[in-house]
Structure 1
């Protein structure tokens, strides 16, 4: 008996160490907090074997049988898990139980052709937050069943076989289950069975049940899809913690992505500031200024270089804006396009802008550029973008030879819409640069 116990516990220790890693998250994968039982496997089957004898932890109801027999017993059960901590199982138990009094030469042997009981099983680890994903799970069970038994009384060399009888009995279990894999438990248990009639062949008093024990080891297998965890191995606290960690990671990833996008936008705005900066104040951005550090007030050409001083008198010429001039400007406005959320002019707009530059040079017109945006984004960003786009058009015209002193660039942001900002078409119409010749 001692060797059997040692072997059983050594086997349990080995299964625990082998299955610890396999169990890490197998009880929570694919589940949600307060989720329905359909997320789990709820049916299981168990098979075990062990020792049947008349002893018990308190040595009561022994009938003077000081020498117990250790006989093989076996059991099969089917269990329906109602919640992580509670299940109902139907158990079959078979084998035989015996005991002797060596001094008196008396004893008994009782065969159990069958016994069937319905028990409620409570798992402590699955309702305790301290063991939220534990490999070792203490449990206790209590039930009521029907047993068929046949007792043989022994008196010296005489054996008296009694008739088979069917009686009520109460099985009470305590034990440990070790979750060695997803949906597989190794089971070590101690079961006390209280029988209400002469189980050992001796008629008892009204409140004197017969008692025998079943010490067993076995395996429990969850039934159903292996993609789902077993409800009997699942702890709601583990599911809640895993769900909280997943949501935290998702929010953190989203925050990091937004932070990276904001940094990229800031870098882009800094580059725009650098490209449009005009240190010498001559109206030509540094990017296009071929003559930096021009003295203040000096008239310059489109490349930022001083214009030759005109010493002869100039004749005032009346400026007449023709319909053809207006058509050229309207076409430039129509064809003007920028890169998305940038002040970079797209190449397809160059041709029409070149024609506007030619008119400004030929007829010495003045031009007002007014940048506008929709109301998407912050006011600060829209005011900057509208100004930068107007300045970009001016810089392009100046690079083609237009007089920068005759070109005014202003940004109005979303303050002067020409259409509603409630529709995509309206917002598209509001994103514009207006040209005014004079």
Structure 2
């Protein structure tokens, strides 16, 4: 086949297709109802292609070859592609033809005794490749008309060298197979031109790398691996419903713009505004006391400003004693309204205040109880309290007596700071002499580290 004639034919085909693309874009641009996040189901994703081109025993990236002059031979193939999204797809390819080459002494050194030529029947290469669309987003045009792709994969090559040795029908361990079969790795690139909504014109170049050195029938250079290329042109047909666009040519930038400018969406927004205005006009959102609960749902419509409310609009009352938290002197302890939400306590041992080991420092958990005692005393001007300090049995009796007195004084100091007159609070220290639980266990000793509050 004349190499010059092939170049002219390919150049003419490219010019013709570019013209068809421009006409198609000018006259047959179609709009799509597909949405950016609508999924693959809204597109055509299957394509079937036919192609033909040139098979040559070499690749563009170079490398060693057993024959220094490639011949150009006709190859032909089929492809079936599943587009998974606008940038990536999987393609099943099938190529067949003939590959041949020669040793030309005028081009480079040829070792004495080398074979002058080879010819191999390529029964088929069946490959599965990942195809990446590297030009899927066009910021200058609303619709893509040209896509650039790269691909790589894995497959099986079935071939039979014919010259210088004829292996057809003599391959395999028993020398009875028609073809030698080897793993092949295809790596390629190409460009796709949109002819119409259904048809693409494709140009491609694929390098095929074989994991062996017997593709040309000789082992002239044992360390080399045979390889060949396939330069092709073809047509690809989109399969599926005519009501769906082809996922090959999706431009997400244009689709997002279309969704933002979609008059249907604008109408929905305007309708929503109208419904809100209607609600406001009907005073359904009116909140007279400003507590965040609409009057229509507010069970306590006249809540004072600044008071926290629950979902029904009523003041919060954490301890459920009927006194709102905002007015409750003891908000976490159930009390009475007469004592501003603090509890009453009866005569005799009650309200034990617990302490840590070897400590007279009040726990923060005691504050709410002591606040209630203070409120009770201030509400009952004649009441007085007795504070009895106690300790567990660790340490000496003398030390524990001092520790129990310090604990009672800590409680008294808190009550005095809360507004209770000092002369209404008396203290007694008992040390370790009056345990309420066994000092043999830590649980019992913990109960003994206490101050008991008694009303008198």
1:6 paired residue number: 8
Tell me the SS of whatever aligns to 1:87: strand
On the 8 A contact 1:27/1:133 being kept in 2, the answer is no
Aligned 1:337-352 pairs, distance under 5 A: none
SS in 2 for 1:98: strand
CA pair 10-249 structure 1, distance change in 2 beyond 3 A = farther
Name the counterpart of 1:270.
none
Contact 2:138 / 2:144 at 8 angstroms: preserved in 1?
no
Contact kept, 8 Å, 1:125 with 1:132, in 2: the verdict is no
Asked if 1:176 corresponds to 2:188, the answer is no
The answer on 1:218 being equivalent to 2:220 is: no
> Runs of 5+ in structure 1 lacking a partner?
259-374, 379-421, 423-438
Partner of 2:34: 31
In structure 2, the residue matched to 1:44 is 47
Does the CA-based 8 Å contact 2:150-2:188 persist in structure 1?
A: yes
* 1:125 corresponds to which of 130, 135, 140: 135
What displacement does 1:238 show?
A: 2.3
Asked if 2 retains the 8 angstrom alpha-carbon contact of 1:32 and 1:243, the reply is yes
CA drift of 1:214 comes to 0.5
Determine the structure 2 residue equivalent to 1:138.
148
Contact (CA 8 Å) 1:27, 1:234: kept in 2 or not? no
Contact 2:43 2:247 in 1 (8 A): yes
Equivalent residue for 1:187? 202
2 CA distance for matches of 1:122 and 1:27?
25
Query: How far apart are 1:134 and its partner, in Å?
Result: 2.1
Matched with 1:263 is: none
Structural mapping, 1:322-337, within 5 Å:
none
Tell me the CA shift for residue 239 of structure 1: 1.4
SS of aligned partner of 1:59: coil
Partners of 1:85 and 1:127 within 8 A in 2: no
Shift of 1:26: 5.3
- Determine the structure 1 residue equivalent to 2:81: 79
Does residue 53 of the first structure (1) align with residue 56 of the second (2)? yes
Q: CA 1:172/1:114 → structure 2, altered by over 3 Å: closer, same or farther? A: same
Kindly indicate whether the alpha-carbon contact (under 8 Å) linking 1:126 and 1:132 is maintained by their aligned counterparts in 2.
Answer: no
Deviation track 1:157-209 (CA, whole Å, cap 9, x = no partner) reads xx554633100001111010001111321000111110112111124878632
Deviation at 1:97, TM superposition (A): 0.3
Query: 2:96·2:122 contact (CA, 8 Å) conserved in 1?
Result: yes
CA distance in structure 2 between the aligned counterparts of 1:48 and 1:129, rounded to whole angstroms: 31
From 159, 163, 172, give the equivalent of 1:149: 159
Q: CA deviation at 1:62?
A: 2.1
Question: Is the partner of 1:11 in helix, strand or coil?
Answer: helix
**Secondary structure at 2:12's aligned position in 1?**
helix
How far off its partner does 1:244 sit?
A: 2.4
How many matched pairs? 257
Alpha-carbon separation, structure 2, partners of 1:184 and 1:56: 29
In structure 2, do the counterparts of structure 1 residues 184 and 215 end up closer, same or farther at CA, with 3 Å as the change threshold? same
Change (3 A) 1:121 1:27: farther
Counterparts of 2:265 and 2:184, CA distance in 1: 54
Residues 1:249 and 1:160: Cα distance change in structure 2 (over 3 Å): closer
For CA contacts below 8 A with separation 6 or more, give which structure has more relative contact order.
1
SS in 1 for 2:93: strand
Matched, 1:115 2:125: yes
TM-score calculated relative to the size of structure 1: 0.53
Distance 1:217 1:85, change over 3 A: same
- Give me the whole-angstrom Cα distance separating, in 2, the residues matched to 1:151 and 1:185: 35
Q: CA separation in 1, counterparts of 2:148 and 2:280?
A: 61
CA RMSD of aligned residues (A): 3.3
Check if 1:209 corresponds to 2:225. yes
Counterpart Cα distance in 2 of 1:249 and 1:185:
34
**Contact (CA 8 Å) 2:147, 2:191: kept in 1 or not?**
yes
Higher helix fraction: Structure 1 or Structure 2?
A: 1
Name the residue aligned to 1:96.
98
In the alignment, structure 2 segments of 5+ residues that lack a partner are 172-178, 283-295, 297-456
Which residue of 5, 21, 24 maps to 1:22?
A: 24
